[in-house]
Structure 1
């Protein structure tokens, strides 16, 4: 894909991938290898995590539409070869968390995807993006579940820093979108 054109985003956020498609299936082993490499790469390139988690949902029965989305991620990587995870020393130990949930985000099974990310200083230290096991009855329920997960992770991080005898500034900030 050296000669391909690059794209501005790794995935089209308005397009919803489906389990079944009008198009033909693709070779599963090739698709699995590509997605596996993208999963490995997303550990140091956090901005790819959401896009890779979307294509990973179709790892067992991929269609052309799914493979085209993987190729789009690769075209995006061509544009951003120098972006990666960077930790830097800060003068403050402020802890901030950002949470978000999309109610009924999956077109195929109507489940919500919840996500959060937590910063210590200006460094991202933990994150999660997960499709819920059950369908939420309302957007409030989906948001409540995600806020609960974010708070649990914040409490765990606070206890960990306390055990390591690392002083933190208070209060911990939680932003809900």
Structure 2
């Protein structure tokens, strides 16, 4: 850090010694989190090994949980005295503001009732629509045409690629509470470097779908058995450019959807069974991580978590300990799935293609199928008239 003007004498080559991290430096956020973590651990809280931003404190039958995002903190628990003590403790070390019950956090709106918690991004969605000038547009029933295939062969390039990147970036954050647009946004994000007119039109269609139900979100019911279950699926060779398969999974805690993903696989699969098996391996890793998180929250899992797949060949590979010619090149994924089976973490099970909920994350679907799977995910609009 250079000395300010007037403090440097002629002929001197001095710099200022930094005693405290300044706002805006690369190290500022890390130093802040380190300071906050040390204060919480000195107060008796334990930092989770699975998620370093999660802190817990357990006393007999009471539990207090802290979740941190930079300088925004969520605090919950079943011990009112411990929560008040923690607020006083933090006030002694930092300047904090108590905003009361959780209603709005990082652009996500929360509504609570006896039936459960509803989370959505209605205000954020309306802001995106307003900036795009689509508040008066005709809404769409589903985000992407069933036979829509986007690639880089379109020669009509956008003159201003910045507006496309800005729009897709905002849609990516909207997927925090909108799993119904995850696949469409994943496809659009592949063309950030050189978007075309067809890509822009597809992005506008997603916005028109959001316009039809901007208040749509996830409902987390209060009646919950707190047991994990997962669905995984893949679209073999779904990418027209690289011929890589698209994997998708969704994980439920009881009836509540808590984790979902749509991602192109890193390797080209030579069969649909191989593509499905790689999807199973990725889901196993996510299930393992979620079980660690639930263990920190003192939520026990009774027995292995069911992992539903609609490919019989992939299930036979998981159950058969013998490597065949068609599976030896995916040996690592085979070891991952079988290790989780032997340790009692997962239990592969068959589900029909019609009831495969992860299908919505792997390919564009028709209106009827899309709306059916969306309802099964627990996605609804609290603002619609009953």
With normalisation by structure 2, the TM-score equals 0.44
The 1-side partners of 2:194 and 2:307 are apart by 38
Counterpart of 2:168 in structure 1 is 35
| Residue of structure 2 in register with 1:107 after alignment | 240
Once structures 1 and 2 are overlaid, which stretch shifts more, 92-101 or 15-24?
A: 15-24
Within-5 A mapping of 1:60-139:
60-139=193-272
Matched, 1:167 2:300: yes
Q: What is the CA distance between 1:115 and its match in structure 2?
A: 1.1
Worse-matched range after superposition: 26-35 or 66-75:
26-35
* 2:187 corresponding residue in structure 1: 54
Distance 2:218 2:194 in 1: 31
Q: Deviations over 1:38-68 (max 9, x none)?
A: 1111112121111111101101100000000
Structure-2 separation of matches of 1:2 and 1:165: 45
Match of 2:366 in 1: none
Contact in 1 for aligned 2:227/2:305 (Cα 8 Å): yes
Aligned-residue offset at 1:3 = 2.5
Q: Deviations over 1:150-169 (max 9, x none)?
A: 12221222233223321234
Is structure 2 residue 147 aligned with structure 1 residue 147? Answer: no
Moved over 4 A (4+): none
Q: Which moved more, 1:165-174 or 1:40-49?
A: 165-174
Q: Which has the higher strand share?
A: 2
SS in 1 for 2:221: coil
Candidates 151, 154, 165, aligned match of 1:21: 154
Query: How many residues get paired?
Result: 177
Give how far 1:102 is off: 0.6
Measured in 1, the distance between the counterparts of 2:234 and 2:292 equals 25
Question: Which sections of structure 1, spanning at least 5 residues, go unmatched?
Answer: none
Q: Which has the larger radius of gyration?
A: 2
Tell me how far apart the structure 2 counterparts of residues 135 and 168 of structure 1 sit (CA, whole Å).
Answer: 35
> Considering only aligned residues, what root-mean-square deviation do their CA atoms show, in Å?
1.5
Question: Which consecutive unaligned segments of at least 5 residues does structure 2 have?
Answer: 1-133, 311-386
